[in-house]
């Protein structure tokens, strides 16, 4: 095929995400070519694309690669893990120097580093680009978080900027940093997503159990919240969920869904890596643990029979709703604060040189954690590029200060009522601990030194000390 007739962009993996993404590319005036081993998926794409000069596809890898203009830009939207390595190895023999492979899946960041080094040796560029927004986002505009070779970014930038979601006209994509920076940022995005989902569901639990709100009222409450400072994709879809009738004709669908949450691993990776870095992200940790507790349904049902549970004390509905709004706002801030703190630290540790203001900026539209709050978060990091934790920003001191007393009241009410609020109470204790100049960990140091001669530092003089305790 003549170079000028070739396609601008290649996409491997024509599942829902891949098909939607490639159609989005084509909608934006780039000629796109897809590849999948499944003939039905190839046929479906060609049909939906309408004009094969704009969107074409093949089941044969040589045909696919040959159809692309050089340097080739080939995006993979395939399941994370081994499949990515297999696809890369299948592509390599057909590629030319300086071609670019972009992994758009939720790959683990160290896999991305390994793949980047492997492809570099072969004269090829590699991007780990987190893509957020689900199937609709892929079709209409996702938030894209690319990391990898800076020089090669210029080649993919026009396509990414065209297909990405726009916030007030600005594309929700930016070059984030070298190596696995993009995958890492997407991983932490998902950790924050887990935290926000857990918090949203806890507040729902409180409103239905203590406030006796029915699904119509819950819809109203979340819908109203979405018009205010809690405006966010997750609050918006939550409002919508309460309205959805059961397609089997049995009331509202949400009441028919089994309370066992699944997970694909990105939230867990965020927690695990935060532990490795030594950065506390307890709201994300607890969100992962809650999915695990939820999975123990049979055990929970048995245990429920063994213990009494207090009846929630009477509470004014409006007062409960108002406190719940404050609690959700406060705890969303804690979830972002923890995730961004992790990013700030990872940036130093892995040499990503992340600009957290830019990350907040490209999260404002398209992605699952998009929210009005990100505007303030962006502002906080733009004002102070060295800001580690959002809680240190004057913009947030004010917001947190104005809500925390009602959060305390709500957490204590929930505890008295036996309604589990692990995410919310955790967000509160994280705040209390992070903002305490004195914690009781002096005692832990004493215990460590007592039983294991692990030494301690003193508040009144420099040095490392050990004491023969009880001597």
Is 263 a binder of ligand 6PG (CB under 6 A)?
A: yes
Shortest reach from residue 367's CB to ligand 6PG, in Å:
6
**Among the listed residues 84, 156, 367, 400, the single contact to ligand 6PG using CB under 6 A:** 367
- The vertex-97 CA angle with 24 and 106, nearest 5°, equals 45
Widest CA span in the chain: 87
Is 281 a binder of ligand 6PG (CB under 6 A)?
A: no
**Among the listed residues 212, 256, 260, 264, the single contact to ligand 6PG using CB under 6 A:** 264
Is 271 a binder of ligand 6PG (CB under 6 A)?
A: no
Is 331 a binder of ligand 6PG (CB under 6 A)?
A: no
Pick between residue 160 and residue 413 the one whose CB is nearest to ligand 6PG. Answer: 160
- Candidate segments 166-174, 239-247, 258-266, 382-390, binder of ligand 6PG by CB under 6 A: 258-266
Shortest reach from residue 369's CB to ligand 6PG, in Å:
8
Quick one: which of 377, 430, 105, 75 has its CA closest to 266?
105
Q: Round to whole Å and give the CA distance between 184 and 266.
A: 10
Shortest reach from residue 468's CB to ligand 6PG, in Å:
51
Pick between residue 172 and residue 213 the one whose CB is nearest to ligand 6PG. Answer: 172
- Residue 74's φ and ψ, nearest 5 degrees, are -120, 115
Strands 9-12, 166-167: pairing is: unpaired
The three-class DSSP label of residue 67 is: coil
List binders of ligand 6PG among 394-413 (CB under 6 A).
none
Looking at beta carbons, which residue is closest to ligand 6PG? 132
Pick between residue 146 and residue 211 the one whose CB is nearest to ligand 6PG. Answer: 146
Which two three-digit tokens encode residue 442? 């002096």
Pick between residue 293 and residue 315 the one whose CB is nearest to ligand 6PG. Answer: 293
Q: Round to whole Å and give the CA distance between 320 and 67.
A: 60
Among all residues, which ones are annotated catalytic?
186, 193
List binders of ligand 6PG among 175-204 (CB under 6 A).
190, 193
- Residue 370's φ and ψ, nearest 5 degrees, are -65, 140
Is 15 a binder of ligand 6PG (CB under 6 A)?
A: no
Is 134 a binder of ligand 6PG (CB under 6 A)?
A: yes
Pick between residue 132 and residue 417 the one whose CB is nearest to ligand 6PG. Answer: 132
**436: Cβ–Cβ under 8 A, 6 or more apart, which residues?**
none
Q: What DSSP line would sit under 355-388, residue for residue? A: -HHHHHHHTSSSSTT-BTHHHHHHHHHHH-TT--
- Return the residue matching tokens 């998902």: 190
List binders of ligand 6PG among 437-466 (CB under 6 A).
none
Pick between residue 111 and residue 326 the one whose CB is nearest to ligand 6PG. Answer: 111
- Candidate segments 132-140, 273-281, 357-365, 404-412, binder of ligand 6PG by CB under 6 A: 132-140
Is 10 a binder of ligand 6PG (CB under 6 A)?
A: no
Is 133 a binder of ligand 6PG (CB under 6 A)?
A: yes
- The count of other CB atoms within 10 Å of the CB of residue 178 is 17
Q: Round to whole Å and give the CA distance between 271 and 191.
A: 7
- Candidate segments 95-103, 263-271, 392-400, 401-409, binder of ligand 6PG by CB under 6 A: 263-271
Q: Round to whole Å and give the CA distance between 264 and 75.
A: 21
Pick between residue 56 and residue 112 the one whose CB is nearest to ligand 6PG. Answer: 112
**Among the listed residues 24, 132, 149, 238, the single contact to ligand 6PG using CB under 6 A:** 132
Q: Round to whole Å and give the CA distance between 86 and 92.
A: 10
- Residue 154's φ and ψ, nearest 5 degrees, are -55, -30
Which two three-digit tokens encode residue 270? 């965020």
- The count of other CB atoms within 10 Å of the CB of residue 235 is 25
Is residue 92 classed exposed, middle or buried when 0-12, 13-18 and 19+ CB atoms within 10 A define those classes? middle
- Candidate segments 127-135, 150-158, 338-346, 355-363, binder of ligand 6PG by CB under 6 A: 127-135
Pick between residue 286 and residue 414 the one whose CB is nearest to ligand 6PG. Answer: 286
- Counting every residue, how long is the chain? 471
List binders of ligand 6PG among 57-116 (CB under 6 A).
106
Is 266 a binder of ligand 6PG (CB under 6 A)?
A: yes
DSSP lists the bridge partners of residue 103 as 76, 128
Q: Round to whole Å and give the CA distance between 388 and 348.
A: 11
Pick between residue 264 and residue 466 the one whose CB is nearest to ligand 6PG. Answer: 264
Number of residues located near ligand 6PG, criterion CB under 6 A: 13
Shortest reach from residue 136's CB to ligand 6PG, in Å:
10
- Residue 173's φ and ψ, nearest 5 degrees, are -155, 145
**Among the listed residues 67, 91, 287, 368, the single contact to ligand 6PG using CB under 6 A:** 368
- Return the residue matching tokens 């929700």: 172
Q: Round to whole Å and give the CA distance between 392 and 385.
A: 12
List interacting residues with ligand 6PG (CB under 6 A): 106, 132-134, 190, 193, 262-264, 266-267, 367-368
């Amino acid at each position: 095929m003549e170079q000028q007739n070739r396609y601008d962009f290649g996409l491997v993996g024509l599942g829902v995400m891949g098909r939607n993404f490639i159609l989005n590319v084509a909608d934006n005036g780039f000629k796109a070519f897809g590849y999948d081993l499944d003939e039905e998926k190839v046929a479906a794409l060609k049909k939906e694309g309408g004009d094969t000069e704009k969107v074409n596809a093949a089941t044969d890898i040589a045909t696919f690669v040959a159809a692309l203009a050089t340097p080739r830009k080939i995006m993979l939207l395939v399941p994370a893990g081994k499949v990515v390595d297999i696809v890369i190895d299948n592509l390599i023999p057909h590629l030319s120097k300086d071609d670019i492979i972009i992994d758009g899946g939720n790959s683990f960041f160290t896999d991305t580093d390994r793949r980047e080094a492997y492809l570099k040796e072969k004269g090829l560029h590699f991007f780990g680009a987190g893509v957020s927004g689900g199937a609709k986002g892929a079709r209409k505009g996702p938030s894209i978080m690319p990391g990898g070779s800076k020089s090669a970014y210029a080649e993919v930038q026009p396509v990414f900027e065209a297909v990405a979601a726009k916030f007030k006209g600005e594309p929700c994509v930016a070059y984030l940093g070298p190596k696995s920076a993009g995958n890492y940022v997407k991983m932490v995005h998902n950790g924050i997503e887990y935290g926000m989902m857990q918090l949203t569901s806890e507040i729902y639990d409180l409103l239905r159990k203590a406030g006796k709100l029915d699904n119509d009222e819950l819809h109203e409450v979340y819908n109203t919240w979405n018009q205010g400072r809690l405006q966010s994709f997750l609050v918006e879809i939550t409002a919508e969920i309460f309205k959805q009738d059961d397609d089997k004709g049995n009331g509202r669908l949400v009441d028919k869904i089994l309370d066992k949450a699944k997970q694909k691993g990105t939230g867990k990776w965020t927690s695990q890596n935060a532990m490795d870095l030594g950065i506390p992200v307890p709201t994300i940790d607890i969100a992962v643990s809650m999915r695990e507790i939820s999975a123990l349904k049979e055990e929970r049902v048995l245990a429920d029979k063994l213990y009494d549970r207090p009846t929630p004390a009477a509470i004014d509905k409006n007062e409960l709703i108002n406190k719940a709004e404050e609690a959700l706002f406060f705890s969303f801030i804690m979830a972002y604060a923890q995730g961004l703190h992790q990013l700030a630290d990872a940036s130093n540790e892995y040499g990503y040189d992340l600009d957290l203001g830019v990350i907040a900026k490209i999260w404002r539209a398209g992605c699952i954690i998009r929210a009005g709050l990100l505007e303030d978060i962006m502002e906080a990091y733009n004002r102070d590029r060295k800001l580690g934790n959002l809680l240190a920003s004057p913009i947030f001191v004010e917001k947190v200060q104005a809500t925390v007393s009602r959060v305390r009241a709500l957490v204590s009410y929930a505890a008295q009522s036996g309604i589990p609020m692990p995410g919310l109470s955790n967000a509160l204790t994280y705040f209390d601990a992070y903002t305490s100049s004195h914690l009781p960990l002096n005692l832990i140091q004493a215990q460590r030194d007592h039983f294991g001669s692990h030494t301690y530092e003193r508040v009144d003089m420099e040095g490392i000390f050990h004491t023969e305790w009880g001597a």
